[in-house]
Structure 1
Amino acid sequence: MISASFIRLYSIPRYIWKRCRAVRAFWLCRSSTRLTAKQTIDIQDLKNEPIITLSKETWPTLYLEFVNYCEQAGFKPKIVQEATEYQMVIGLVSAGIGVTFVPSSAKKLFNLEVAYRGINQVQLTAEWVIAYRKDNQNPILKHFLDIMNKRQALLQADKENA
């Protein structure tokens, strides 16, 4: 029996949800595009760009946050492709299909012909959540959650001291 799972969704009844990590998301574009000449990208720069994204079902909070930022800037994003894994999204960007946003941790995974850029005025956040059943009494789960909470407290203290 699986006692807990790391997920990106927040909507299954009978489960407890705990945010365990949030990281900044970066814009990713093919190295040979006009956007790579900039150190950071303005949200308006994306108005006419083809966008590749993780599907709403895969990572709803990140997807909706992005769409909301675009709408606040006065445009609807031109989403040309959705995928279920950000590894696939990065491959599509590398192939020249469009631009995307990925968690900062993705920068460590791939050395393709892509460039990672921050975006001005916008702070997209990729969240990881742990979910477990409310009635789960497994002592190993309790121990795991204790370790996770202590690690979160240490990370927060490091962030505040930096």
Structure 2
Amino acid sequence: PAARTTTLTGIPTPSPSRTTLGGIPAGSPVPSPTAPPTPPPTPQLSPAETRFLQALDMIERKQYRDAVQYLNFAISAQPNVARYYLHRGIAHLKQGNAGMAKADFLQASRLEPGNAELMAEVRRWLQQVTTQQPVPVPAASRQTSQAQKIVPPPRKEDNGGFWSRLFGKKK
């Protein structure tokens, strides 16, 4: 018989020099019959694909600006994936940016012209771009940035040139 040692708890354990039933060496971990099987490893997604999936979630929650940012990251990482452009175009269209949406739809169609399913989606969304009228923005909600403010040109004084303005006019 195999030599047994007793632990402090009083549970006998087999000696490490012998094997237990089933040919498993003593001392090696024995899988318990009640333990659930380990799930297969999930495939690792690329950072671009992860951002794309996050963008799809943002589009579903109507957070189009955030979706565009996630899709910008995905496109910068993998610029030749047509579905990234398609969904960025959708997010642009939902925000009212028809010109940017159209550019993204056309880029998607250039990348995969042979993909019939993608082309059908592009055509469907492009029809919405051409039929969509611009949404009027109330005057109270308009905000002008510094770059948009109109600055009047400097007033010209007499016939003084650059040097006379710099050093003063001759009298």
Q: Do Structure 1 and Structure 2 share a fold, with TM-score over 0.5?
A: no
Instruction: Please tell me the TM-score bracket, short chain as reference.
Output: under 0.3
TM-score (norm 1): 0.23
The structure with the largest alpha-carbon Rg is: 2
Q: Which has the higher contact order (CA 8 A, sep 6+)?
A: 1
Larger strand proportion of the pair: 1
TM-score (norm 2): 0.22
